[in-house]
Amino acid sequence: MSSPTASNQEIKELYERSIAEKYQNDYEFRRWFLTDRLRLDYFMTRTAIAHHLQGVMFSSCLEFGPGSGIFTATAYRRNPSARFDLIDISEAMKKQFVLEMRPIPNVSYMIGDIMEHDFGDSTYDLFYSVRAVEYVDDQEGFFKKVHGLLNAGGHGVIVTKNPHYGSAERGESTRSQHRGKLGVNQTEQLLAEVGFKNIQIYPVIIRLPIIERLTLRFTEKYFQRAYQKPFNKNMSRFVESYIVIFEK
């Protein structure tokens, strides 16, 4: 794993600042819908999650790093009657969630560091996280905690960024908040070591930079052929993020 990685507290402070400054208190729109490229990223992420959640049965869900709730909605649609507990380290993100989603009785949004939070006797059928695991500073401890929070037979569905995607060559990986990205092999190994099984990994966001200077349509068509197939390591440098499904 890359080191040193930004601490959980540093990630919290980063998002508290960026919500107001970089995203101008309009995170969801500016992060996912400002350009055609971002809109395609959203489409690929939502499509992949919805597909891979189809076979997952749950009546309780713990989501880590829900942010504005843009992908919380995808899991919620899978089972609107389930209990959803959400935990995010950023108060500013929770405010974005309140703006984007109406209050729902069976959805609880908690502020805190998942590694320090006391969940009491709560356990879950589904652990769900989209683009947040890479920000955790103790990933081995994190996966151990997730294992303890899942019921026997429970599932995990995680989307995370790929460190081998081509953007690393342009310097992104030099920022401390991006050094926690886990490669496919690392993720699989960590999950297996803490006791998870039936680990499956698939591509999510695909980017083909040279072709995309002309059109995004080819990328979309390639994604439609690829997202239901296991992660192809030969295409790793073109895969910005991937999804992991696993069982306890």
* Region class of 25: left (phi > 0), else alpha (psi between -120 and 50), else beta: left
Distances (CA, A) of 202 to 118, 140, 196, 226: 32, 21, 17, 8
Q: What pLDDT does residue 121 have? A: 96
Question: What region does 201 belong to: left with phi over 0, alpha with psi -120 to 50, or beta?
Answer: beta
b vs e for 122-145, b when ≥16 Cβ sit within 10 Å of the residue's Cβ? eebbbbbbbbbbbbbbebeebbeb
Q: What is the pLDDT of residue 8?
A: 80
pLDDT at residue 180 in the model: 77
What is residue 9's three-state secondary structure?
Answer: helix
Side-chain half-sphere of 198: how many Cα atoms within 13 Å?
10
Q: What is the pLDDT of residue 100?
A: 67
What pLDDT tens digit does each residue of the chain (248 aa) get? 344 577 887 777 777 788 777 888 888 888 899 999 999 999 999 999 999 999 899 999 999 999 999 999 999 999 999 999 999 999 988 888 877 666 789 999 999 999 999 999 999 999 999 999 999 989 999 999 999 999 999 999 999 999 999 854 444 544 545 567 999 999 999 999 999 999 999 999 999 988 998 999 999 999 999 999 999 999 999 999 999 999 99
Phi/psi at 125 (nearest 5 deg)?
Answer: -85, -25
Report all structural domains of the chain as residue ranges with CATH numbers, in order of start. Answer: 8-247 (3.40.50.150)
Please provide the DSSP assignment of 153-207 as one string. EEEEEEEEE-TTSGGGGGTGGGSGGGTT---HHHHHHHHHHTT-EEEEEEE--B-
